[in-house]
Amino acid sequence: MTKVSARHEEAGTHEDTVDAAMNHGSDELSRPRELCTRLVSNCDISASKVAPIHCLSEDVLRLIFQTGWKWDSDILDEDLSRERMQFSICIASVCRAWRTIAHATSRLWSVIYFFPDRQRSLVALESFLCLSRRQKLSISISYRYGREDAAIPQDMSMEHVWVAAVMRLLVKHVDRWELLVMELEDIRTTETIFSIWTTPAVALKQLVLYAEPGVEHPESMSFPSAPELRSLELLIPLLSQTHNIASSFPALENLVLGTSFPDADFRFLRTLQPIQHLCHLALTGVLCDMLLQDPNLKFHFSALESLHLEATPIDHVYECLSVLEAPLLTTLRLDLENEHFITTHTGPFIRQPERFPLLHSIVFAGLEPNLGLSNVSQFLGSLKSAQVLFIGHRIEEFMKAASLCRPREGWCFVRLASLTISYDSGVPPQALRDLVEARRTASCAEHLPEQLRPLKIEEIQVNTSVELPTGDRRWFEANLRKFTWSKDQQQPCLNGWMEFTVLSP
C-alpha cells in the first residue's frame, strides 16, 4: 500500500468515526470547553497536510464546529454566552482552513457577549455582527464584568459612553435581535439606550435589564417596542408608575420585576392588566401597606397561571392576594425571608379561595425554624383543592405533624397521598413507617366522617445519601403501591394528589 493510499484510507476511517460519533451524540463533541482545549492544543498538528484532522471534509468540520458551539443547552446564561463566543474565536484561530470554514458558518457568530475592553471590543463586535449575516442574535452586554481590570474605565460616568457606542452598532441589526441582556452600573444609562433604540425589535423574544441604583432615578421609563417579546426581566432599583410595558410588549407571557416598590406606586400593576397573555408574574420586595386602604382596588389577570413573591413580609402577602383576581392561577410561590415571616396569624392568608379555583401548587421557602407545619396547614384555610405543596423545612417536624390528628382541627394535609423527600442527612425509616401506619389506620376509621379521614399514603420517593436497611425496604415495598429509595438527588415528580417535598436546610 502506498503512502498516499494509506493516508486516504486513514482519513476515510477517521471521517466515518466522526460521523458515527455525531449520530450517537458523543460526549467528545458535546462540550465546548473540552473540544476547544483539544483544538487549540492541536494547532501544530493541523498544519500538517498528512494529519487525519486535516483530511476531514468542510461539511464534517462545519458539523463539528456547530455541535461543539451549541453544546447541550438552548438556555443562554452569561457564562454560556461567553463560552460560545470564545469557542468561535478559538476555532477560527487554529489555522487558515478552519478560519475560512468558521467565518463562513454564520451561526457561530450569532451569540455576542460584550464588555468594555479598550477599543478592540467595538471592533470585535462589528466583526461578529458582520459574520453572523442574517442569523438571529443573542446579545449580552455587561459593563460590570471584569471591572477589576485596570484597562476598563472605572468612572461610572463613562458607562453611558461605552453603551451608547455599542447600541449604535447593534441598532443597525435590530430586526435580528432575539435575546438582549444588559447589565449596567447606573440606572440612568437606560435613558441612553432607549434614546438610541427607537426602531421596533420585531424578532426580540427575551429582554433582561439589570441596573444598580444611581444618584438620580428616571422619573418615567418609556420602553421601545418589541411586539413579539415573550419574557421581560427588570431588575432595577425603581420602577415608577409611568411606563409603557403593556403597549410596548403586548405579547408578553413572563414578567419578572425585582425593584423597589413604594406603597403608592405598587398600583402600577393595574397598567399591566391589558397584557392578555401574561402567564407568569414574579415580584421581589413588594411592600404594599396601603393597598387595603382602597376597598375598590383590584388587579385582574385573566391568563395568570403562576405568581412568585420574593422577600415579601407575610403581612403584605395577605394584602397582595386580597386584591388579586386570577381565575387560572395554579401555582403560588412564596420566598419569605426569615425576618419577614411572622407567626402571629391564625387565619388563612388565602381568603375567598373561589378567586383561585385552579390553585393546586403552593411553594414555601424561607420559613422560620419555630414555625410548625400545622401553622402552614392553617394558612391554607379552606383551600381544599391543594395538590402540591413544597416546604423547605425539617423532616422530623413534618413527620410528627402529618402523623397526628389534632383535637378539633383534624389531620394536617388531609389529601396527602404521595410523598417525595430530598434530604442529604438521611430520613428516619421508623418515623416514616409510623407516618404510613397512622394515616392508613385513620383512613379506615369509621368514627370519622369521610371528608375528615386522611388519604392513605400510596407512594413514597426518597432521595438521600444514606442507605436503607433491607428490612425497612421490604416493609415499604409490601405496604405501598410504589416505593423508591435513591441515593441520587432528583427533582420530584408531580402526581395526581399532593406531593410534599421536604428539602434539607
User: Does residue 78 fall inside a structural domain?
Assistant: yes
pLDDT band at 269 (very low <50, low <70, confident <90, very high): confident
pLDDT value of position 155? 54
pLDDT value of position 102? 74
**Is the per-residue pLDDT at 150 higher than 60?**
no
| Single-letter amino acid, residue 2 | T
User: Does residue 126 fall inside a structural domain?
Assistant: no
**Is the per-residue pLDDT at 214 higher than 90?**
no
C-alpha span between 79 and 167 (Å, rounded): 22
pLDDT value of position 16? 41
Ranking 261-270, 407-416, 419-428, 469-478 by mean pLDDT, the lowest is 261-270
CA angle (369, 364, 290) in 5-degree steps? 100
The verdict on 265 and 382 lying in the same domain is yes
pLDDT value of position 46? 47
The domain boundary, picked from 88, 109, 130, lies at 109
User: Does residue 470 fall inside a structural domain?
Assistant: yes
The verdict on 380 and 399 lying in the same domain is no
The domain boundary, picked from 386, 402, 434, lies at 386
**Is the per-residue pLDDT at 279 higher than 50?**
yes
- Tell me the mean pLDDT in the region 381-393: 49
pLDDT value of position 151? 45
The verdict on 350 and 444 lying in the same domain is no
DSSP annotation of 499 reads E
User: Does residue 381 fall inside a structural domain?
Assistant: yes
The verdict on 355 and 407 lying in the same domain is no
User: Does residue 365 fall inside a structural domain?
Assistant: yes
The domain tally of the chain equals 3
Torsion of CA 365, 367, 371, 375, to 10 degrees: -30
**Is the per-residue pLDDT at 30 higher than 50?**
no
User: Does residue 249 fall inside a structural domain?
Assistant: no
- Tell me the mean pLDDT in the region 190-219: 80
The verdict on 358 and 272 lying in the same domain is yes
The verdict on 486 and 429 lying in the same domain is yes
**Is the per-residue pLDDT at 490 higher than 70?**
no
The domain boundary, picked from 386, 409, 432, lies at 386
- Closest by CA to 208, choosing from 245, 251, 249, 255, is 255
Strand-pair partners of 280? 254, 306
462 neighbors 382 (Cβ within 8 angstroms): no
The verdict on 412 and 459 lying in the same domain is yes
- Summarised one tens digit per residue, pLDDT across range 345-364 is 444 566 666 778 787 777 66
- Summarised one tens digit per residue, pLDDT across range 423-441 is 666 778 888 899 899 888 8
**Is the per-residue pLDDT at 418 higher than 80?**
no
Question: Which is more confident, 302 or 375?
Answer: 302
- Tell me the mean pLDDT in the region 2-21: 38
Strand-pair partners of 505? none
Q: Residues with Cβ < 8 Å from 231, sequence gap 6 or more?
A: 205, 206, 207, 252, 253, 254, 255, 256
pLDDT band at 472 (very low <50, low <70, confident <90, very high): very high
The verdict on 353 and 408 lying in the same domain is no
Domain range for 68: 1-109
pLDDT value of position 473? 92
**Is the per-residue pLDDT at 5 higher than 50?**
no
**Is the per-residue pLDDT at 126 higher than 50?**
yes
Ranking 133-137, 286-290, 458-462 by mean pLDDT, the lowest is 286-290
pLDDT band at 313 (very low <50, low <70, confident <90, very high): low
pLDDT value of position 162? 80
The verdict on 266 and 302 lying in the same domain is yes
182 neighbors 78 (Cβ within 8 angstroms): no
Question: Which is more confident, 5 or 86?
Answer: 86
DSSP states along 161-194: HHHHHHHHHHGGGGGGEEEEEEE-S-TTHHHHHH
Strand-pair partners of 494? none
pLDDT value of position 372? 46
DSSP annotation of 221 reads B
The verdict on 277 and 327 lying in the same domain is yes
pLDDT value of position 464? 79
Question: Which is more confident, 314 or 28?
Answer: 314
Question: Which is more confident, 47 or 336?
Answer: 336
Segment (H or E) for 248: helix 245-248
- Tell me the mean pLDDT in the region 256-265: 62
pTM of this prediction exceeds 0.85: no
pLDDT band at 394 (very low <50, low <70, confident <90, very high): low
Give the Å distances, CA to CA, from 39 to 42, 88, 358, 376. 5, 11, 53, 56
419 neighbors 500 (Cβ within 8 angstroms): yes
pLDDT value of position 235? 80
pLDDT band at 266 (very low <50, low <70, confident <90, very high): low
User: Does residue 167 fall inside a structural domain?
Assistant: no
Most confident range (mean pLDDT) of 8-12, 70-74, 159-163, 420-424 is: 159-163
User: Does residue 223 fall inside a structural domain?
Assistant: no
- Closest by CA to 299, choosing from 253, 254, 355, 248, is 355
Question: Which is more confident, 382 or 202?
Answer: 202
Residue 505 grid coordinates: 436546610
C-alpha span between 318 and 349 (Å, rounded): 5
- Summarised one tens digit per residue, pLDDT across range 74-122 is 555 555 666 777 777 777 777 777 778 777 777 777 788 777 655 557 7
**Is the per-residue pLDDT at 2 higher than 70?**
no
The verdict on 382 and 397 lying in the same domain is no
The verdict on 406 and 369 lying in the same domain is no
**Site of grid cell 435580528:** 176
Share of the chain above pLDDT 70, in %: 54
**Is the per-residue pLDDT at 370 higher than 50?**
no
